[in-house]
């Protein structure tokens, strides 16, 4: 079993202390909130997309260090990300935690710092909240057609999702 020092490493602390894009957007294409009933963590995000790619992002993160670290990496890397890439990253993190899969690589490689969380199932939901919220907002944008209709279209979609325990 992983030592708690591995989970709450210096790198986790550094990421959690430097969460980018913590200002909510004034006019997002979609907003979503994901909440873990298990630990009380909440991540709310705002998203703007154009031609299926994220062009702006804002977030409010009231989560444990693990949720904060995940949100930090997402906030840093999400601009320029398409929906399919985001689904792949979220699935890679899920598989890393639940199926001993490999961690993400490339620009998302910092998410590997969350690998020791796999031994603590109670921490999986809070670690994945940011992905749940982002994918929910992306789905809403795709359904509303705002990403394809360009900058002239202004449709705001909001959602509140609750993560179920792992």
pTM given for the model? 0.84
CATH architecture of the domain 4-143 equals Alpha-Beta Complex (3.90)
Please give the structure tokens belonging to residue 100. Answer: 């001993």
The answer to whether 61 touches 71, Cβ cutoff 8 Å, is: yes
Please give the structure tokens belonging to residue 137. Answer: 């907002």
pLDDT band of residue 5 (cuts 50, 70, 90) is: low
Exposed/middle/buried for 55, CB within 10 Å: 0-12, 13-18, 19+? Answer: middle
| Chain segment 91-113, per-residue pLDDT in tens | 999 999 999 999 999 999 999 99
| Chain segment 25-64, per-residue pLDDT in tens | 999 999 999 999 888 899 999 999 999 999 999 999 999 9
């Amino acid at each position: 079993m992983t030592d708690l020092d591995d989970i709450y490493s210096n790198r986790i602390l550094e990421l959690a202390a430097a969460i980018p894009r913590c200002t909510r957007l004034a006019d997002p294409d979609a907003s979503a909130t994901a909440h873990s009933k298990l630990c009380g963590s909440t991540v709310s995000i705002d998203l703007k997309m154009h031609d299926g790619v994220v062009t702006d992002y804002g977030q409010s993160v009231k989560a444990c260090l693990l949720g904060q670290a995940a949100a930090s990496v997402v906030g840093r890397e999400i601009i320029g990300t398409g929906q399919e890439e985001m689904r792949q990253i979220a699935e890679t993190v899920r598989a890393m935690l639940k199926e001993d899969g490999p961690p993400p690589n490339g620009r998302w490689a910092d998410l590997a710092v969350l690998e020791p969380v796999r031994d603590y199932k109670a921490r999986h939901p809070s670690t994945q909240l940011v992905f749940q919220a982002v994918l929910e907002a992306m789905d809403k944008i795709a359904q509303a057609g705002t990403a394809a209709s360009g900058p002239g279209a202004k449709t705001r979609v909001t959602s509140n999702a609750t993560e179920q325990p792992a």
